[in-house]
Structure 1
Amino acid sequence: MKTRLVWLAALCFSLSAFGQQAKHSFKLGDNSFLLDEKPFQIISGELHYPRVPKEAWRARMKMAKAMGLNTIGTYVFWNLHEPQKGKFDFAGNNNIAEFVKIAQQEGLWVILRPSPYVCAEWEFGGYPYWLQTQKGLVVRSTEKQYLAEYKKYILEVGKQLAPLQINHGGNIIMVQVENEYGSYAADKNYLDINRKLFIEAGFDGLLYTCDPAADVKDGHLNGLLPAVNGIDNPAKIKQLVNENHNGKGPYFIAEWYPAWFDWWGTPHHTVPAAHYTKKLDSVLAAGISINMYMFHGGTTRDFMNGANYKDISPYEPQTSSYDYDAPLNEAGNVTEKFKAFRSVIEKYLPAGQSLPPIPAAKPSIAVAPFKLSSKVALFNVLPQPVKNINPLTFEALGQDYGYVLYRTTIKGGKKGELQLKQLRDYALVFINQKRAGILDRRLNQNTLTLTLPAGDVQLDIFVENMGRVNFGKYLLENKKGITEQVTFAGAEVKNWLMYGFPFSNDRLTAKTTAKANGNGPTLQKGSFEISTVADTYLDMSDWGKGVVWINGHNLGKYWAIGPQQTLYVPQEWLKKGKNEVTVLELIKPDQNMLKAIDESILNTLKKLNVD
């Protein structure tokens, strides 16, 4: 009966309060959250605004309502909003305030997670790359430079979002301080500085922390609600919260995982809904609030994928698809997991009430094979180089993402071992513009045996940033490129020219009419025509490794090793008639045929022959 009353309060709110934008209260009771002094159970799903085209935000939120959610959660991503020091961007797909307002219009509360560190399988855990250019700056610490930059950022976020809190007439009901900090350290002073900065930025509503069960004690700050991640045993949740919150609730699972994310070279992660429905049922029956991570994953585009790295495991860069085997798939369509979870949630509706009907699945189309009509080799369109005795990192070059070509001349006529000390992360090695080998950090590769022809030899090393580490102590060791030195036959190689290819868009800064030659990276362009606009999936399984743009929109990375073989193309970025395609291909320069299919391929691994 108690749970029915909670849902009735939520339903009444949805029907009347949102349109009026009246001020409401949201507080902690001893056992329940209190919305306008009445018990309220949060049933939330995580949905990240940059992983969904802005034009589709509302559709995804309607799906959230149809599954029975009353709240959505989202991180705020520092590296999107301050991509370069002092230059803030809250426009277009970065318009987080608009995202929150649309949620309010759709009758959804919002849980905001704006801490500078987000993890989220996101590049550098959300930190902007340029923090690493400030000597001595240490992220997630009380170091003065870091706190100064953090403060500037959070004040800007506060300008955008603090007015949208529930106590100011908006729909943001809670704001998270830091993110799983107990998994990283246990400095309560640092946590309190976070809390104070949030308050200074205008976040004067309900603040909370979240940590995995084992780390709650280290990551919790007295006076804030300790939310728990990764467990769904009601008794254990209540015990953990009570132990860290003066014997009181309410009880909130801040991250409940219906599946997991993917990284290159490993199988797609899936878990049947049946493994979770009983657990969801028990949590809701116990009156515990929950946030599903993820409700809808979407796609990680624009070089924003992160990576994991631990002492006991290799470097693991994450795929562009963030499908997550979530209730709503990468394209925003309903899965069996969605239906199963909806059925559980429906059990707790008041008698006579029902959920909105599930919106119809979006159609998808195939595109017949077409040939890319133009091709240029990157070696023929080099921008102005930076010269230095030693190789410089991306950060030292002032480059955020993408690729850097390192070029020098060495004496030939001998055989030896080329070693790249601390390569980050993937290198194509060329001798006189002919590919001699590939080095892959995932495989702990950093040496290559070369037999050089006589005379002066041009050595090119084309290096890709495959994503900065987003979790753990290696956040502090995240510079990209050739980060230390290069040796050949035991002698250090010096006198480098470095050419930056950040590919912030699909255009090159240098122009030439030279044709493609050799087997180096190429940029190819073409087009296709459609009479019906609908979702589609570029099938990249015949290609090697690279990036694709459609009508100027970065779709993300592809890599034939899998498990992801397709790139999702949202209908919102297509148009009737001609659509422009650009492909950056690193290792198969002769490939030029492209096609699209009407469904995704996310679980196909294969060995890539690049010899």
Structure 2
Amino acid sequence: MKKIFRKFSTILLIFLSGVMFSQNKISAFEIKNGSFLLHGKPFTIHSGEMHYPRVPKEYWKHRLQMMKAMGLNTVTTYVFWNYHEESPGQWNFSGEKDLKKFIKTAQEVGLYVIIRPGPYVCAEWEFGGYPWWLQKNRNLEIRTDNKAFLDECEKYIIQLTKQIVPLQIDRGGPVIMVQAENEFGSYVEQRKEISLQAHRRYSHKIKDMLLKHGITVPLFTSDGSSLFKGGSIEGALPTANGESDIDVLKKSINEYHNGKGPYMVAEYYPGWLDHWAEPFVKVKTEDVVKQSEIYIKNNISFNYYMIHGGTNFAFTSGANYDKDHDIQPDLTSYDYDAPINEAGWATPKYTALRSVFQKLNNNKLPEIPQPIKVITIPEFKISKTAPLFDVIKGRKPVVNNQPLSFEDLNLGSGYVLYRRKFDQNQKGTLEIKGLRDYAVVYINEKKMGELNRIDKKYDLDIEIRKGDRLDILVENMGRINYGSEINHNIKGIISPVKINENEVSENWEMFTLPFDRFPDYDYKLKNIPQNSPVIQEAEFNLTETGDTFLDTRDFGKGIVFINGKNIGRYWKIGPQQTLYVPGVWLKKGKNVIQIFEQLNPNTTIKTIDHPILEQLVGLGGM
């Protein structure tokens, strides 16, 4: 009996010891007593933002090492829903899209990770991260307490959490915080027709989904300091984007976080975003250094948005909207005037900030990684050119009485050629008020003019004769990613085409041109009409590889593929006049360049060893 008692006592003691240990166990990362605590000790977040989809996967480690060498301790990234759900229900987290690999690489480098998964992200990214096909469901309304929308959000959050839950810091990974929604306060402010209570029901449901599916690290929100009423979420730390005044920062966070910190600026802007047809925005190095020192002196956690911007490859760039422009499409380059430039080079801003952070470190910071080698490719000629009108011959069009939108044609990005033949003369003003976003108009394959949303040019004078064929080549230049206009993101021609106020209906033919891959075509030598849209191809040989910059100053408007990868959009109006070509997408020996040129075919390909991002020509130069 005594043996049984002793055995029972031993088991009880072990059990009670375990209970006491679990009660006293220090969380790996937590918010406690107004501070961030890392393994029980106060921790100040010095973070830089970098989005893995904007950087080739082979360069992730280099860019992360650049951050570490600057003195940062954390990397922050958005996760773009539409980048991973490639079509409804088809998810991809492999290769370039391997989020787990990005997070693990950050840990290898010695950086903690903050995840900003949205579902809405803004980020100057197509549709703010939402899949375009959400708009096909007429019962769905984004960013609201709407069952159809929330059902889709939960599908995304389930897939997302599979990637990040195992890599949270309490499971041995580097993920220390996760954001719930994004900049929701500004959206609440713009959509006052919806009650604050309804807005908050939605944002809190997003938080609940994250918790339900395994997020255990602290949650946070980010908004302008005056927008916490609509944007803050109970149980999540409010952080203030862009706030430079420490007193305002603390007062705002105190009001919505139990009267105490920690205090964090989730977005401090060392640069700014850029649009086609507008000057490239610069932020002075001395201003960035001064503000950084203020944050550091006052023990404020902060995140540089962006520390390294990268590139909006393919059709990933988004757009803004304001009263003067129906759309402000973002550049292919997401350089952002960031401390680490688009190609991963250390800028003077980087060097100055590194000196600031070195003062905080007792140990010498790591050496700055060497930049990726840069090459220039000897000038060469385009060898194959074909008119787009020939390329689509033989394709079966969609026929309808009115032009259909991209969405109705089941097309997310790229172009649609709208065509109609006339059986009687027409003369006057062609008007397309529902143009989304840019169009070139042709009669019998001869260019008549350009229309675009940027300067609200929706009409031009034309003369059509009986038997003539009208072609309207329409381009989606990126869905709006910020503000209430995000709800009006249908692309293509979305209202009747008119000539002299009369609707042009019946017998519209539509050819979809997604350019998800470059079209196969049996090129034949022929004379190309001036100002004709064309596809072009050429081969070039390399004895070594490295980053380079395609000089597009002699081009018109279009997109470029290198070895099958869409490296982005160019447009002669600027300010961007080069396209960044990552060296890891080139190879020794034969390489292939393919171009879709919408305006004026070019015959010569040139590269240079530096970017040109500040040469604005403007719409007047079109």
TM-score range, shorter chain: over 0.9
Q: Which residue in the other structure is 1:233 paired with?
A: 245
**Residues 228 and 516 (structure 1 numbering): CA distance in 2 closer, same or farther, change over 3 Å?**
farther
2:134 aligns to what? 131
CA-to-aligned-CA distance 1:128-167 (integer Å, 9 cap, x gap): 1100111121110111111111111110111111111111
Moved more, 412-421 or 260-269: 412-421
The one-letter code sitting in structure 2 at the alignment partner of 1:310 is: D
For residue 605 of structure 2, what is the aligned residue in structure 1?
594
Q: Residue 26 of structure 2 contacts residue 39 of structure 2 at CA under 8 Å; is this kept in 1?
A: no
Give, in whole Å, the separation in 2 of the partners of 1:329 and 1:206: 31
> Is residue 380–residue 516 contact of structure 1 (8 Å, CA) maintained in 2?
no
Is the alpha carbon distance of 1:407 and 1:60 closer, same or farther for their aligned partners in structure 2, counting shifts above 3 Å? same
**Partner SS, residue 86 of structure 2:** coil
Say whether the 8 Å CA contact 2:573–2:621 is kept in structure 1: no
1:359 to 2:335 alignment: no
Q: Which residue number corresponds to residue 390 of structure 1?
A: 402
1:70 partnered with 2:73: yes
- Does the 8 Å contact 2:93/2:99 carry over to 1? yes
1:111-130 aligned at under 5 Å gives the runs 111-130=114-133
Provide closer, same or farther for how the CA distance between residues 348 and 191 of structure 1 changes in structure 2, counting only shifts above 3 A.
Answer: same
Look up the SS of the partner of 2:87 in the other structure.
Answer: coil
Quote the residue 1:160 is aligned against.
Answer: 163
Q: In structure 2, do the counterparts of structure 1 residues 196 and 514 end up closer, same or farther at CA, with 3 Å as the change threshold?
A: farther
| Alpha-carbon displacement from aligned partner over 1:193-245 (angstroms, at most 9, x marks no partner) | 01111112211221111101221221001221101101122222111111111
Post-superposition offset of 1:401:
0.1
Contact residue 23 and residue 168 of structure 1 kept, 8 A: no
The structure with more radius of gyration: 2
TM-score normalised to the size of structure 2?
Answer: 0.92
Match of 2:42 among 39, 44, 56: 39
Q: 1:251 aligns with which of 263, 276, 282?
A: 263
CA deviation map 1:343-392 (0-9, x unaligned): 11112123xx1110111233312222211110111111213211111100
1:538 to 543, 550, 553: 550
In structure 2, the CA distance between the partners of 1:294 and 1:117, relative to structure 1 (3 Å rule), is same
Task: Note if contact 1:377-1:515 (Cα within 8 Å) is conserved in structure 2.
Answer: no
SS at match of 2:305: strand
Tell me the equivalent position of 1:551.
Answer: 563
* Deviations 1:422-465, CA, capped at 9 Å, x for gaps: 1000011011111111101101011111122x322111000000
Q: Structure 1 unaligned segments of length 5 or more: list them.
A: 1-21
Task: Report Cα offsets for 1:501-535 as digits up to 9, x if no partner.
Answer: 00001234x76758564343111000222222111
**1:317 and 2:320 aligned:** no
Q: Give, as a single letter, the amino acid of the residue that structure 2 aligns with 1:93.
A: E
Contact 2:26 2:40 in 1 (8 A): no
CA shift for structure 1 position 607 = 4.9
Structure 2 residue runs without a partner (length 5+):
1-24, 189-195
CA contact (8 A) 2:437 2:477 kept: yes
Equivalent residues of 2:384, 2:523 under 8 A apart: no
Alignment of 1:202-213 (within 5 A): 202-213=214-225
Q: Corresponding residue for 1:269?
A: 281
Q: Give the residue type in structure 2 aligned to 1:324.
A: Y
Give yes or no for contact 1:23–1:169 (8 Å, CA) kept in 2.
Answer: no
How far residue 265 of structure 1 moved from its aligned partner, in angstroms, is: 0.7
Q: 1:373 aligns with which of 383, 405, 426?
A: 383
Partner of 1:4: none
1:215-234 correspondence runs (5 A) = 215-234=227-246
| Number of residue-to-residue matches in the alignment | 585
Task: Work out the CA distance in 1 between the residues paired with 2:83 and 2:288.
Answer: 33
Q: Counterpart in 2 of 1:5?
A: none
Partner of 1:443, secondary structure, is coil
Once the two structures are superposed, the pairs formed by residues 46-57 of structure 1 within 5 Å of their partners are 46-57=49-60
1:144 maps to 147
Is contact 1:408-1:459 (8 Å) kept? yes
1:485 aligns with 2:496: yes
Residues 1:460 and 2:463 are matched in the alignment: no
Amino acid at match of 2:162: K
* Structure 2 counterpart SS, 1:323: coil
Matched, 1:279 2:282: no
Q: Which amino acid aligns with 2:302?
A: I
Structure 1 contact 233–279 (Cα < 8 Å) conserved: no
Q: Does 1:342 align with 2:345?
A: no
| Letter of the 1:378 counterpart | L
Of 11, 22, 27 in structure 1, the residue corresponding to residue 30 of structure 2 is: 27
| Partners of 1:455 and 1:233 in 2: CA distance | 67
Q: Deviations over 1:458-480 (max 9, x none)?
A: 11000000010000111110000
In the aligned structure 2, how far is the partner of 1:120 from the partner of 1:524?
32
Q: Residue type matched to 2:74 in 1?
A: T
User: For the Cα contact (< 8 Å) 2:277–2:618, is it kept in 1?
Assistant: no
What is the distance in 1 between the residues matched to 2:33 and 2:354? 28
Q: Which amino acid aligns with 1:140?
A: R
Kindly state the Cα deviation for residue 414 of structure 1 after the two structures are TM-superposed.
3.9
Residues 284 and 344 (structure 1), Cα distance of their counterparts in 2 relative to 1, 3 Å cut: same
State the secondary structure of the residue aligned to 2:468.
strand
Displacement after TM superposition at 1:23 (Å): 10
What is the CA–CA distance in structure 2 between the aligned matches of 1:106 and 1:28, rounded to whole Å? Answer: 25
Partner of 2:10: none
TM-score after normalising by structure 1: 0.93
Structure 1 residue 330, shift from structure 2 partner: 0.3
User: Does the aligned pair in 2 maintain the 1:298–1:329 contact within 8 Å?
Assistant: yes
Q: How far, CA to CA, are the matches of 2:418 and 2:288 in structure 1?
A: 49
Could you tell me which amino acid in structure 1 is paired with residue 116 of structure 2?
Answer: R
State the 1:312 CA deviation: 4.7
CA distance in 1, matches of 2:523, 2:552: 27
Name the SS for the 2:616 alignment partner: coil
Preserved contact between residue 587 and residue 610 of structure 1 (Cα < 8 Å): no
Farther off after superposition, 68-77 or 303-312: 303-312
1:305 alignment partner in structure 2? 317
Are the counterparts in 2 of residues 417 and 489 from structure 1 also a CA contact under 8 Å? yes
Q: Which residue of 2 aligns with 1:326?
A: 338
* Match in the other structure for 2:305: 293
Equivalent AA in structure 1 for residue 500 of structure 2: A
- Percent identical among aligned pairs is 46
Q: Give the whole-Å Cα distance in 1 for the aligned partners of 2:587 and 2:399.
A: 44
